[in-house]
Structures are given as C-alpha cells and as structure tokens.
Amino acid sequence: MRIIQLLPTLLPGDAVSNNVLAIADVLTQHGFENDIVTCNDIKRNPQITEKVQQIMPGEYLRQTDADVFIYHMAIGSELTDFVIDADVKKKIMIYHNITPAEFYKNLPLLSADCINGRKQLQKLAEHIDFGIGVSEYNKSELDALSYKKTASIPLIMDLEDYTNTKPSRTVMDKYTDDGFVNILFVGRIAPNKKHEDVIASFHVYNRYINPKSRLFLVGSYNSTENYHYTLKKLVDSNGIKNVIFTGHIPFNEIIAYYRVSHLFLCESEHEGFCVPLVEAMLFDLPILAYHSTAIPYTLGNSGIMFTEKNHKLIAELINAVLTNETLKNEIVAGQRRRLEDFSREKIGRQFMELFEEIIK
C-alpha cells in the first residue's frame, strides 16, 4: 500500500507542514510506504524519502501507483483538482481550516485565496472518502458541508523539538529577571488573530496596573505588511509603550520568548487549532484566551477563557492571575494535564487506529 500526502507548500516550522512530517514518520514506523507531494515545487525531504521528484505534480501524480491520498487542506490550491480527478483507492482529507475571507477584506489577494479555498472545500465534499478535522470545530464545518464521513484528530506535534532546542542567549539575557512582566502572543501577524485587541488589552494593563510590563508579539508579517504597519501606527499614535514586534525569527528565539514570558494572551477570532496554545502549555505559561472557534477545543478544561473583549476587565484578569500564585499554579497544573492529551505517541496512535479503519 502506497500513501501520498499532498499539500501546496512544505515548510518545516509551519504547523501544517510539521503535521505532514509527523504523519509521514508515523506511517513509516507502521510499515507504510509513503511520500509527500507539494504544489509549488517537489521538495526532497531528507527525513523521510530518498527519491527526488523533479517533475511537475501532475505528471508525478499521473504516474504514481498510490493507493491512498491524504490531502492537507488549509488553503485553496491547484492540487484540489488533482485529488478530485485521481483514481486511487481512498481519498482522505485532513482539514486545518481556511480563514473566512471577511477577515482579509483589506488584503484582497489573501481574501481571494480564502474564497477560492472555501469553494474548493465545498467541491471536495463528494470526492473525499473521509474528512479529518484537526479540531471538533473543523470537523463540524465538514459535517455542515455534508462530507461522507468525518472525525476529529488533533495535530501530531513533536514537543521534544521545543524542549531539546537551546533558547537564544541574546533574548534570554535581554529579558530575563529585569523586574518586568512579559506578556506573550505567538502567531502570524494576520487579521483573524486580532493583534489590535491584544495590544489594547496590554495597553490598559501597562498604563493602569503595571507600567513595568512588556508585550511580545512573535510572528511573521510576510504578505500582511499593511496590517502590520497599521498595528505599528496604532501603537505609535496612542503612545503605547513596550510593544515588541519580533517579525519572523529563528526557532531558538521563539523558544526564548516563551521562556522569558509570564503569561500568554490570545484574542484571536478564528483558529483551526492554535498550536501556540499547546506551546504555551509546554512552557508553563498561564493562558488567557478569547472563547472562539477551535480555542475551547484545544484548551479543553485548562487555561482561562473570556467571552467578551472588555480591555479593562482583561487587564484586571491578567493582574488577578499574575498576583495570585495559587491560582496561577493551578492553571499551569491544569494545562500540564491537558498537554498529555497532545503527546505524539497518543495522537499518533489515534491517527493510526483511524487510518487503519479507513483503509480496511
């Protein structure tokens, strides 16, 4: 049995790509021959395959003798038509979610990608044998589109990568033990993640409760430069202090920012899973998050969620958590228990059980 995972671009470090690599690993461990095909270029991945595919995806796919396709859907791409037309025994889709276009109304190119993606998602419904959502939220979207069979399996994450990587010395030396409270949000600078709300809540906390505080906004603004620039203008025009946009940074610096921070604040209004929440759990950062989309699913019974964006009350909530050691410890303990549900072995096992059931 040969399995091919398909996705538009493989970029290790990206949540979808990491999931693809982890699944490839799990499949190989269980003796399944598998490969990865990307749209823009066929990358040789030294971790899992020795073959170099130098031909266009269409030709490769026409020549292949694959039995199963696993299509990773996070954005529209030309691979959708290949998947639809392909003659393979089983077509599985792993749905990571597509941001609704209304979040990108001020970024027309990205908005068009989202609209296109949603149309393709609808089109795929009758061609996919099994749709897997990486959260219950994603699964519910597939159910609403009448996918034949659906299930929910979280992303397979290699959490050891985080603990084995040495944090950046530069960041650690700069921000450790200087008497400042560091609040962190990690995520692409993208409109659905509502960085402006995180900034507003932080500003109230910094201005009225604790001037010795910082906000780290860790994430790339590649292709959302206008949104990033507007956020910076928001900060400058309102005299908001101590907001640091890191931009795209290496992995060891991301680890360092987690290690020097004291709290994770998320006010995102659309997430398919939200890997940074799991990362925050791993680094024992108490999580405060806005109750939306897949966030309750990922947090489970851990962390603290709030239901409205009242910046004054969010600032007070931050203070309540950081000044109450017992509460903070209980939140972190709850998060550690939740983290066990995302262990690679556990999710890998869940995935293989489902996969073997699908291909029977």
Site residues for other proteins per CB under 8 A:
11-13, 46-47, 106-107, 165, 191, 196-197, 199-200, 203-204, 207-209, 222, 225-231, 233-234, 237-238, 248, 250-251, 291, 296, 301-302, 304-308, 310-313, 316-317, 319-320, 324, 326-327, 330-331, 334
Closest distance between other proteins and the C-beta of residue 294, in Å? 15
Residue type present at position 320: A
Q: Classify residue 109 by burial, with Cβ atoms within 10 Å: 0-12, 13-18, 19+.
A: exposed
Residue closer to other proteins by CB (options 14, 143) is 14
In this complex, which beta carbon is closest to other proteins, that of residue 128 or of residue 281?
281
Secondary structure of the chain in HEC code, one letter for each residue: CEEEEEECCCCECEHHHHHHHHHHHHHHHCCCEEEEEECCCCCCCCCCCCCCCCCCHHHHHHHCCCCEEEEEECCCCCHHHHHHHCCCCEEEEEECCCCCHHHHCCCHHHHHHHHHHHHHHHHHCCCCCEEEECCHHHHHHHHHCCCCCEEECCCCCCCHHHHHCCCCHHHHHHHCCCCCEEEEEECCCCHHHCHHHHHHHHHHHHHHHCCCEEEEEEECCCCCHHHHHHHHHHHHHCCCCCEEEEECCCHHHHHHHHHHCCEEEECCCCCCCCHHHHHHHHCCCCEEEECCCCHHHHHCCCCEEECCCCHHHHHHHHHHHHHCHHHHHHHHHHHHHHHHHHCHHHHHHHHHHHHHHHHC
CB of 136 to other proteins, least distance (A): 16
Q: How far is the CB of 209 from other proteins (least distance, A)?
A: 7
Of residues 324 and 343, the one with the C-beta less far from other proteins: 324
Residue (29 or 310) nearer to other proteins, CB: 310
For 22, phi and psi rounded to 5 degrees?
-65, -40
**Cβ closer to other proteins: 85 or 208?**
208
By C-beta, is 127 or 232 nearer to other proteins?
Answer: 232
- Quick one: 31 or 46, whose CB is closer to other proteins? 46
Q: Which is nearer to other proteins, 2 or 248 (CB)?
A: 248
